[in-house]
Amino acid sequence: MRVMRAIAAALAVLALGAGGGAASAQENWKLGSIMQPPAIGATLDDEVAAALTGGSKGKVAVERQFVANEQEMVQQLIRGRLQMGVTSAFGFGVAIPDVTVVSLPYIWTSDAERRFVTDNYAFPVLKRLFAAKGLELLAIHEAGYNGVFCKSECSTPASIKGMKARVSPNAVAKAFWSSLGANVVQLPMSELWPGLEQNLVLAADLPFPFYATTPGAQSAPVFVTTQHLHHPWLYAANKAAWDGLPANERKAMVDALPNPNAVRDRWFADESSKVAAFTAKGGKVVRLTDAQRAEWQRATAPALQTLVDGMGSGAKELFHAIQQGKAEFAKRK
């Protein structure tokens, strides 16, 4: 009887192995992101994950995974602990500083210019910069323009002087706030909200749709539409994991991704609705005129030139590509 039970157990193990063969053919990939519902960014991330899964015909099942610290997420992605990740140029900037060029203060003269130049001139250079760090850049979508938000009135550059302001850990953010005379405090995103509540910082900057879904909308309810820098939303894969997929499968997954301009349009439509809801509940949105916004641009222009002068070769290549694209866009207009 003991022998018969042993044989039965062995047969059960074999049966489980055979039954799991189909399941083991599917790879489960995590897409690291700071976004969480109800932010539209989380919805868009989920749609990208579903598109990639569908493009692979289910061979790669991609699912968004919340990671509160952008820099930690990028490191996990580079090390292969996450197969995919998405964040802004600032988020990737800790590992790939040159990519923050696309978010230099007031580098874009219009949204139409930014879309054209990003997709046609910046994207190829960004792919090479990502590849050098073991990452595959898959798509550039939307994360909006930063505005300044604070716990009190801060609608002019002069009002920022001496104010304790949170900066993300990159040179572009530090240059922007320092040029305004702020008392800069470097904090990861996960520490910003308690920092505001405890008055460790009194101001910061984020795109409005993200800001509106965070505790910052309550603790710092004044938002100023400075639009001083733009955040492309950069989807990337660990290159070793990505290259391990068949070429036709990789192509099908990329081809299945949503159209970038359609995503951009949805982002800004959501922003408009969130601004309306925020002001209806008593939040204050200071809508700057072009002339008022130009004051912010003039205040930060010297910092921009200093950043450009001190850039490395990769950043200069990207900056040059952007200038070429801007010139081509101007001709087309």
Q: State both tokens at 215.
A: 């505790």
Residue type, 196: L
> In the 8-state DSSP scheme, what is residue 13?
H
Over pLDDT 70: what percentage of the chain?
Answer: 93
Closest among 12, 15, 92, 146 to 318, alpha carbons compared: 92
What's the CA gap between 30 and 84, in Å, rounded? 6
Contact predicate 103/231, CB 8 Å: yes
Confidence of residue 190 (pLDDT cuts 50, 70, 90): confident
**pTM of the model as a whole:** 0.85
- Arithmetic mean of pLDDT, 180-208: 95
- Residue 188: per-residue pLDDT: 87
Q: At which residue do the structure tokens 């989920």 appear?
A: 46
Alpha helices (H) along the chain:
2-19, 21-24, 40-55, 70-79, 89-93, 111-117, 123-131, 171-179, 189-197, 208-211, 216-219, 239-243, 247-255, 260-280, 290-309, 313-332
- Give CA 281 to chain center in angstroms: 28
Q: State both tokens at 88.
A: 């802004």
Q: What are the tens digits of pLDDT across the range 272-284? A: 999 999 999 999 9
Q: Is the pLDDT of residue 236 over 50?
A: yes
* Torsion of the alpha carbons at 217, 218, 221 and 226, rounded to the nearest 10: -20
- Residue 303: per-residue pLDDT: 78
- Arithmetic mean of pLDDT, 251-259: 98
Contact predicate 53/61, CB 8 Å: yes
Minimum mean pLDDT among 19-33, 128-142, 183-197, 314-328: which range?
Answer: 19-33
Q: State both tokens at 205.
A: 């900057």
For domain 27-332, give the CATH superfamily: Bacterial extracellular solute-binding protein, family 7 (3.40.190.170)
Confidence of residue 38 (pLDDT cuts 50, 70, 90): confident
Give the residue, 24 or 298, on which the prediction is more confident.
Answer: 298
- Residue 13: per-residue pLDDT: 33
What's the CA gap between 92 and 133, in Å, rounded? 10
282: left (phi over 0), alpha (psi -120 to 50) or beta: left
What is the DSSP pairing of strand 222-224 with strand 135-150?
antiparallel
Per the omega criterion (within 30 degrees of 0), is the bond before 260 cis? no
- Residue 317: per-residue pLDDT: 95
Q: Is the pLDDT of residue 49 over 70?
A: yes
Q: Is the pLDDT of residue 9 over 90?
A: no
Confidence of residue 4 (pLDDT cuts 50, 70, 90): very low
Q: What are the tens digits of pLDDT across the range 51-66? A: 999 999 999 999 999 9
What's the CA gap between 32 and 199, in Å, rounded? 30
Minimum mean pLDDT among 57-66, 241-250, 291-300: which range?
Answer: 291-300
Three-state SS sequence of 292-331:
HHHHHHHHHHHHHHHHHHCCCHHHHHHHHHHHHHHHHHHH
Closest among 150, 143, 274 to 207, alpha carbons compared: 143
What's the CA gap between 254 and 56, in Å, rounded? 9
Residue type, 187: L
Confidence of residue 172 (pLDDT cuts 50, 70, 90): confident
Q: Is the pLDDT of residue 247 over 60?
A: yes
Q: Is the pLDDT of residue 10 over 80?
A: no
Task: For the chain, give the number of residues.
Answer: 333
- Arithmetic mean of pLDDT, 9-21: 38
Q: What are the tens digits of pLDDT across the range 115-171? A: 999 999 999 999 999 999 999 999 999 999 999 999 999 999 999 999 999 998 888
